Amino acid sequence: MEIKKIITIGISGHIHTDQRMKRIAGSLSKNGASVALYYREHFKFKPVKTADQLPFATIGMRILVNKGILFYAFLNWQLFWKLLFKKTDIYYAVDADTLPAFTMLSILKGKPLFYDAHEYFCEVPELQNSRLKKKVWDLIIRIGVKRASKCLTVGPMLALELEKRYHKAFAVVRNTTKADHLSIDAPLPFTLPDKPIILYQGALNKGRELELLIKAMPNLPEFHCLLAGEGDLSESLREMAKSMNNVQFAGLLSPDTLKTLTPQCFAGYNLLDAEGSLSYYYSLSNKYFDYIHAGIPSISSHLPEYEALNDSHGCGICIENTQEELIKTLKNWLADTELYQKFKENTNIARKVCQWETDEAALLALFRP
């Protein structure tokens, strides 16, 4: 059954970096919806060229201020006035960032509101030192959730936590990878070393335990560390690793380049410092699924979503966030080829379950009568 609806989506980031919303908006469009996605044109780092042909409309917005409280104020002000006189059937707010404008529009125009929580917004590290900001955002979310016809989030455990806090059911649409996310023959912009590669893909931001990874590399001379991405820690991490010859920064890479690169790596890195951040504690990152689809085992922190998936599929391991545990795990995998191959074989099994085609069905069910 086709979804014959006009769906307006708002995100605070750039569509180039939001693989989840590319998949969601693409799936809705493919199934008959007319989708318009509004995003922020500002991009802190030079974007890479991508061959993506998006099957939905994208409208970029230039915001006068790109950080702090004024950014959110200008973003929602602009969204409100841009959409006030445009026809739509559903307002789809991504995270709390766009929720104020979409909640007001939903009330004024009598249209359904969908709220997609990509993270536990009130528990992100940036809000933990400001009780006032935390209370304001919590109030915004409570009003939005109360108004919303449907709420969804990225993982089952976060869904339960949000239901407890906001007293409303949250559907689960995981940020899984498409089944066709296999190795392709795209050229790499650099030459890979003749060593097993530990890959980190994603934002170089606080809380990703990237300092731990780099500090461990002098004790892992048989390995090469490759970080694919940019972020707030780009400069400080490069400074930390400048004297190391087995640490490499690849910068931002296109999805096609990552599809070529990731299957050639030895292991995927996915540690998180969740102390003091329930948002990280309940996270379920897309890189975890990307590693599965590339056929490489991953090393994750002892966090509930990753423990549950590794217990079910055996395609990775959860460790304590210490250099000693990381070094021991990697050296053990390198020495015990039978154990390592078992992890690799399990990724092929997990790929059939942890794929976007499964979660797409859960998404579409929310929009169909």
DSSP 37: E
> Which backbone phi and psi does 25 adopt, to 5 degrees?
-65, -35
Residue 183 has pLDDT above 60, yes or no: no
Q: What percent of the chain has pLDDT over 90?
A: 78
Residue 57 has pLDDT above 70, yes or no: yes
Measured CA distances, 157 to 79, 82, 124, 161, 305 (Å) = 31, 36, 16, 6, 7
What pLDDT, on the 0 to 100 scale, is given for residue 256? 83
> Which backbone phi and psi does 38 adopt, to 5 degrees?
-95, 130
Q: What angle do CA 24, 27, 30 make, to 5 degrees?
A: 150
Q: Helical H runs in the chain? A: 19-30, 68-83, 99-109, 131-147, 156-166, 210-216, 234-241, 255-261, 278-281, 286-294, 304-313, 323-335, 337-353, 356-367
What pLDDT, on the 0 to 100 scale, is given for residue 289? 95
pLDDT tens profile 161-172: 999 999 999 999
Does the structural domain 6-176+356-367 have CATH classification 3.90.1570.10?
no
pLDDT tens profile 344-358: 999 999 999 999 999
Contacts of 79 (CB under 8 A, 6+ apart): 10, 38, 61, 98, 101, 102
CA distance 297 to 299: 7
CA Rg value for the chain:
21
**Whole-number average pLDDT of the chain:** 92
Q: Pick the residue with more confidence: 306 or 41? A: 306
Structural domain spans, the chain? 6-176+356-367, 197-353
Q: What is the mean pLDDT of residues 208-212?
A: 96
Q: Which of 8-17, 127-136, 266-275, 325-334 has the lowest mean pLDDT?
A: 127-136
What pLDDT, on the 0 to 100 scale, is given for residue 53? 79
DSSP 355: B
Measured CA distances, 122 to 95, 117, 139, 279 (Å) = 10, 11, 10, 8
| CATH code for the domain defined by 197-353 | 3.40.50.2000
User: Would you say the CATH fold of 197-353 matches that of 6-176+356-367?
Assistant: yes
Q: What is the mean pLDDT of residues 35-46?
A: 84
Of 54, 132, 135, 144, the residue nearest 94 (C-alpha): 144
pTM score, two decimals? 0.92
What pLDDT, on the 0 to 100 scale, is given for residue 334? 97
What pLDDT, on the 0 to 100 scale, is given for residue 125? 78
Q: What is the mean pLDDT of residues 218-243?
A: 95
pLDDT tens profile 217-226: 999 999 999 9
What pLDDT, on the 0 to 100 scale, is given for residue 337? 96
Q: Is 226 helix (H, G, I), strand (E, B) or coil?
A: strand
What pLDDT, on the 0 to 100 scale, is given for residue 42? 76
Q: Which two tokens stand for residue 47?
A: 């974007």
Q: What is the mean pLDDT of residues 93-102?
A: 96
pLDDT tens profile 249-300: 999 888 888 989 999 999 999 999 998 789 999 999 999 999 999 999 999 9
